Structure 1
Amino acid sequence: MNTELFISRRLFFEKSSKKLLSRNIIKIALVGIALGLAVMIISVAVVTGFKNEIREKVIGFGSHIQVINFDSNNSYETKAVSRKQSFLSGLNELDGVKTVQVFATKPGMIKTDDYIQGIVFKGVDDAYDWDFFKNNLVGGRLPELNDSARSNEILISKQVANLLQLNISDKVVLYFINEDESTPRMLQLDISGFYQTSLEEFDNLFVIGDLQQVQRLNNWRTDQISGFEVVINEFTRIDEIEQEVRNTVLDYSRENDAILRTTNITREYPQIFDWLNILDMNVWVILILMALVAGFNMISGLLVLILERSKMIGVLKALGSPNWSIRKVFLYLSVFLTSRGMLWGNIIGVAFIVIQKTFEVFKLNPTTYYVDMVPVNFSIVHLLLLNAGTVVATFLMLIVPSYLVSKISPDKTIRFD
């Protein structure tokens, strides 16, 4: 039988201890632990939720990985590649690849009688995955595309519509300039719907329409496109899967084919993803501070427990118990008390996440934060790691204060009344 664990459990459930001074001090310590753990759970949930929300919005405009012409630069004016590639079957069979879809982009501008706005026309075909824009649709409907004829319908952002004073079903004129032409090309298209992601950098830029319109503007054949978008299942594997995509493209390439290269969304928009990575540092600062607060709260409680139980310590020493055995009694007791505080911390933290996820109580200014409410991400893995980390950190911080047990003399404490 574990004697130390048995004694600590008796002390933990002892009813007479409610009259001791340490009981009130322990309550204060437990409140600190509960609030500290709740803050840690909420902080991790909010930051990971915010990162996921922004990341998914950026990916929605450009996918995880792109395969494009090697001669294409970082602008949206791209060099054509053939959509009939032998590596497509290999890409679709790669582990982690969800879909492979074609796209084409063309920079231009929208002009009305009073306003002008620079845009990028992104052309897609009828096999395009519209889930992202469907989830961010705020008015109208998605463009209807088919292979038989060019569609004149486009999807623009609500922000651009407000700026140019446009409504659904309005006709709008888009202007495009080719390098070898002095006269701009014009397209008169119909607005089928509005989307809104609150990412101004993208909302002000992208107009989504028919791939065949871009082919017409660039004098491309029907089998020519800007490149391929590869959508994957797990963002954490983006570098690994990009390498596999690159290897697959190289394996299937032929001598006379256009040279292709791969890029991923983190390299396309490094400023956004670097900013998101900086948020991790803020979380670590919060976690460390809250762990220190919880540890110091329990240190004060442990010291009071040892002083109040000095007579018991003296008796145990007189019976031959070594110092480390007695220290283990109080360390076990501290873990029990910490667990009680952590229970309430988990309840508070998880309750906040559930309430916010269900009712979206806390709102944000989308102009500043890119989202209109506080996003939260509940992860059982994060929850378990935070609880385990709190227990371990608190236990390690209590080892040194428990050394006070060795300073207590049995002959003095047993006679103390």
Structure 2
Amino acid sequence: MNFELFIAKRIISNKTYKSSVSAPIIKIGIAAIAIGIVVMLIAIATGFGLQEKIRDKVAAFNGHIEITNYDTNASDESQVPISTDQEFYPEFKSIEGITHIQATATKFGVIRTEEDFEGVVVKGVGADYNWKYFEEFLVDGRLPDFSGKRNEEILISNYLAKRLGFKVGDKFQTLFTNNLAELRPRIMAFTIVGIYNSGFQELDEKFCIADLRHIQRLNKWEPDQVGSFEVFIDDFSEIDEKADEVFREIPSMLNARPITQKYYIVFEWIKIFDSNTNIIIAIMIIVAGINMITTLLVLILERTQMIGVLKALGSNNWSIRKVFLYNASYLIGLGLLWGNLIGLGLLLAQKYFKLFPLNPDTYYVSEAPVYLNWDYVVLLNVGTFIACLLMLLVPSIIISKISPVKAIRFD
């Protein structure tokens, strides 16, 4: 039998335990643990969720790694074509972790209506295009189908649709030019088959998606010539390493650039979430630990006579300390239980019912995203439990200072 655990259970199950002087302090300690876990769960889940959503939105328009010509072109328009006759296309077999590669091209254009006009970037895609992200963004209509003959279907953003008064099924003309010397721009008509809304206005306000063969025809390219290749990987945390591997595998006249470089400011901004989350976790654990230290000291003070009796009967200091550490472990576990119930409940409610909206102009998303993973939930609970218990080792030393004679006479 574990003597210390037996004594701790008797203390916890004692009815006077719940109505003693220490009861309010015990409740405060439990509440501090619970609130700390709730705040930490929300900070981690929403921080990771926001990072993941922003990464997905940027990747939807650019892939994770972009292969382009090695030139000084910094615009959104494809200039010098690349042949699709490459060893890495249509499958990048030489590098593990690459899930997909697709050929694209972009061209500046001006959408013209009877009342207004708007500059856009028409992104040409083919039958190999990965529509996974845009399936989530689609708000009206359907996704274009470019697997057959060349067609005039186009996908535009909700931002452009509202700005120009478009709806699904409308047709519009777009003006293109290859250089400033062309006096007469080329006009192409498109039919809107779908409207998307990624929430990333910086991209929504300019990108339309049409058939790649239109861009090839406008630029007078051959059918095997494209503007760039977009590479997708399965683990975003390895994006820089994979970009280096891709760069070493492609011909010397091509360049591979991860989206973390192309959208450097955006990704530096979301890195701040990690620092903020770490600070929140540290503060919550310290606050919870301090509250538990106070609770433990009150428990020791309240059980001074019991400590004296146990010492008189031959119990050593470490044995008595274990009694109170078992007691404290129970309180910490109770706080963790309530904290997880409340925290995970709020996160699940946000994930499925979108209770808390955000300003997309500031955060690039319309509601607080939630990323739930049992790995960080378990790690957070175990880490909090161990950290609080270690913090209680020091104040429990006070037990060794208590004299048995004085303790038994203590009132």
TM-score by length of 1: 0.92
1:351 matches 2:345: yes
| 1:13/1:35 CA distance change after superposition, 3 Å | same
2:381 partner amino acid: N
Match of 2:162 in 1: 162
Between 333-342 and 317-326, the greater mean CA deviation after superposition: 317-326
SS in 2 for 1:46: helix
Residue 275 of structure 1: how far off its partner (Å): 0.9
SS in 2 for 1:21: coil
Match of 2:43 in 1: 43
1:334 matches 2:335: no
Match of 1:13 in 2: 13
Contact conserved, 2:199 with 2:360, CA < 8 A, in 1?
yes
Match of 2:271 in 1: 277
1:402 matches 2:405: no
Match of 1:241 in 2: 242
Q: Deviations over 1:157-210 (max 9, x none)?
A: 011111122222222222223237433332222222211111110000101001
1:292 matches 2:286: yes
Match of 1:58 in 2: 58
Aligned CA RMSD, in angstroms, stands at 1.9
Match of 1:219 in 2: 220
* Structure 2 counterparts to residues 86-101 of structure 1, below 5 A: 86-88=87-89, 91-92=92-93, 94-101=95-102
1:153 partner amino acid: E
List alignment gaps of at least 5 residues for structure 2.
Answer: none
Q: Deviations over 1:345-377 (max 9, x none)?
A: 111111112222222233334344332222111
Residue 331 of structure 1: how far off its partner (Å): 1.9
In structure 1, C-alpha distance between the alignment counterparts of 2:393 and 2:410, rounded to whole Å: 26
Match of 2:318 in 1: 324
Match of 2:385 in 1: 391
Between 238-247 and 126-135, the greater mean CA deviation after superposition: 238-247
Contact conserved, 2:65 with 2:256, CA < 8 A, in 1?
yes
Contact conserved, 1:92 with 1:100, CA < 8 A, in 2?
no
* Structure 2 counterparts to residues 147-186 of structure 1, below 5 A: 148=149, 150-179=150-179, 181-183=181-183, 184-186=185-187
Contact conserved, 1:299 with 1:397, CA < 8 A, in 2?
yes
In structure 1, C-alpha distance between the alignment counterparts of 2:393 and 2:73, rounded to whole Å: 59
Contact conserved, 2:91 with 2:101, CA < 8 A, in 1?
no
Q: Deviations over 1:37-78 (max 9, x none)?
A: 112112211111121112111111111111111125221233
Contact conserved, 2:77 with 2:121, CA < 8 A, in 1?
no
Q: Deviations over 1:206-262 (max 9, x none)?
A: 01001111111211111100121111222122223223322322xxx4xxxx71111
In structure 2, C-alpha distance between the alignment counterparts of 1:110 and 1:299, rounded to whole Å: 67
Contact conserved, 1:69 with 1:227, CA < 8 A, in 2?
yes
Q: Deviations over 1:54-109 (max 9, x none)?
A: 21111111111111111252212332110111233661453221111111111232
1:409 partner amino acid: S
SS in 2 for 1:74: coil
SS in 1 for 2:220: coil
* Structure 2 counterparts to residues 248-263 of structure 1, below 5 A: 248-249=249-250, 253=251, 259-263=253-257
1:42 partner amino acid: I
Match of 1:69 in 2: 69
Contact conserved, 2:88 with 2:94, CA < 8 A, in 1?
no
Contact conserved, 1:154 with 1:190, CA < 8 A, in 2?
yes
SS in 2 for 1:20: coil
Residue 389 of structure 1: how far off its partner (Å): 1.6
Contact conserved, 1:83 with 1:227, CA < 8 A, in 2?
no
1:194 matches 2:188: no
1:384 partner amino acid: V
In structure 1, C-alpha distance between the alignment counterparts of 2:346 and 2:45, rounded to whole Å: 10
Residue 147 of structure 1: how far off its partner (Å): 5.1
Match of 2:205 in 1: 204
In structure 1, C-alpha distance between the alignment counterparts of 2:70 and 2:202, rounded to whole Å: 26
Contact conserved, 1:69 with 1:261, CA < 8 A, in 2?
yes
In structure 2, C-alpha distance between the alignment counterparts of 1:57 and 1:391, rounded to whole Å: 37
Number of equivalences: 409
SS in 2 for 1:85: coil
In structure 1, C-alpha distance between the alignment counterparts of 2:409 and 2:88, rounded to whole Å: 87
In structure 2, C-alpha distance between the alignment counterparts of 1:161 and 1:196, rounded to whole Å: 10
Percent identity reads: 46
